Chain A
């Protein structure tokens, strides 16, 4: 999605002024600035662009509970990033580490206005719709603006040869139709990553009749207990990223550079087995992190890098009822290329991924199939 022109980013619609209750408080109440001048520079003196960054003093003066809850929101505080980096040995009391983190990771921070008023920084920022407040975030411009190639493109069929998710194609479902848990958007008291959110959506929340004996042969207890839904129902490959490095160039501009992404489909052992994720077999996606992620800033800033796999539990958003791997038993059974084996993992990442790599002998063997 191309960025807006500079003037487009700040053009306020008359409709906002006429119909939106938020216009009633006036611009300066939230944004600050100087009221008694029409000179651009003078008028903008002391002005705050992103007022949602401090919800207690702006949004929170009316939306008290939301502002209070936002204090621990996962989108706002990026507890997922912090959790996994700390697990890999990242020391958030080390100024060198926190400089690297602040320079390259906090750009993904999102506050109230990033969902309800503005386009995210990843899309170049600017107002979503002339300052009109959107109760439900725009699926493509806000949710999909950040969760783009790894979620939005999966969902709308943006990867060549891979059909869109049936929930979008047939039902037109928006992100919030499934992700209706308040924890994701307004409070994050669960801490940790999104997969640790006890209120996160599950397939069986809607598909509640899925159970052994539901008339679908593969829905026996062996498969339902051991295999995550996505293993059978992901429509095909999804994007994996590799080799992200960060730094500051000669002009002082912060940057990251990553290796070309790849479309992958890999079944592996479940690295987050729990009551919520009980399966043995899940889909895995390679994330861009690597041992030298922050090497520009110092040596060994992630000393326990191998504590977590780089092929991580994933839930691709390209679900279909019928997929190539569930067409017949032996489209999955015995198909070694579908499984993450040692040869798929870079040698310097094999320790980190030991828990998810599948030994060839453990791959479900071919079975005798009825029919042609």
Chain B
């Protein structure tokens, strides 16, 4: 049986062989899946924008006192914010707010006088 390669294909053999070798080398040299790093920004944790990492501050509601502590190095991605529908329904309804308003207890002392 004669297995002669057609004359018209012969010039393509060496380039095809070269490309096949290069594909083989790349396939052998690539990192295994477990060592592949995700592109920046696609992980479960991300940096808060481009600003430097901040230090957290706590101030009590009366104001004045500050307590500094180190912030975590990353911020977990947030789930969708909780629904504000109930808040909005009330706080945009003038009549409802009037009906629910409670006058605060007297906070000015009878002994108070003068300008602040």
Contact = CB atoms under 8 A, between A and B. Distances in A.
Nearest to A64: B51
Contact of A54 (B57, B91, B98, B109): B57
B107 interface: yes
Given A35-B83, A38-B86, A249 B110 contact: yes
A222 interface: no
Given A7-B94, A29-B81, A253-B109, A122 B59 contact: no
Nearest to A8: B97
B53 to A, nearest CB: 9
B42 interface: no
B30 interface: no
A28 B87 contact: yes
Interface stretch (A258-266, A271-279, A314-322): A258-266
B89 A38 contact: yes
B51 A71 contact: no
B62 A5 contact: no
B91 A106 contact: no
A258 B113 contact: yes
Contacts of A26: 81-84
Interface in A187-234: none
A68 B48 contact: no
A48 B58 CA distance: 13
B38 interface: no
A6 B68 contact: no
B106 A68 contact: no
A54 B58 CA distance: 5
Given A57-B56, A253-B109, A78 B115 contact: no
Interface in B69-116: 71, 81-92, 94, 97-98, 100-104, 106-116
B49 A257 contact: no
A71 to B, nearest CB: 5
Contact of B64 (A68, A70, A78, A257): A78
Interface stretch (A11-19, A156-164, A332-340, A358-366): A11-19
Contact of A109 (B52, B63, B71): B63
A40 B100 contact: yes
A257 B81 contact: no
Given A10-B91, A12-B92, 5 more contacts: A26-B83, A28-B87, A36-B83, A56-B57, A56-B71
| 8 nearest A-B residue pairs (beta carbon) | A258-B114, A255-B109, A109-B63, A7-B97, A64-B51, A255-B112, A26-B84, A27-B84
Interface of A: 5-7, 10-14, 17, 25-29, 31, 33, 35-38, 40, 43, 48-50, 53-57, 60-62, 64-65, 67-68, 70-71, 76-78, 102, 106-107, 109, 111, 122, 149, 239, 241, 244, 247, 249, 251, 253-261, 288
15 contacts: A6-B104, A26-B83, A27-B87, A35-B82, A40-B90, A43-B87, A71-B57, A77-B64, A109-B63, A244-B114, A251-B109, A253-B109, A254-B109, A259-B114, A260-B114
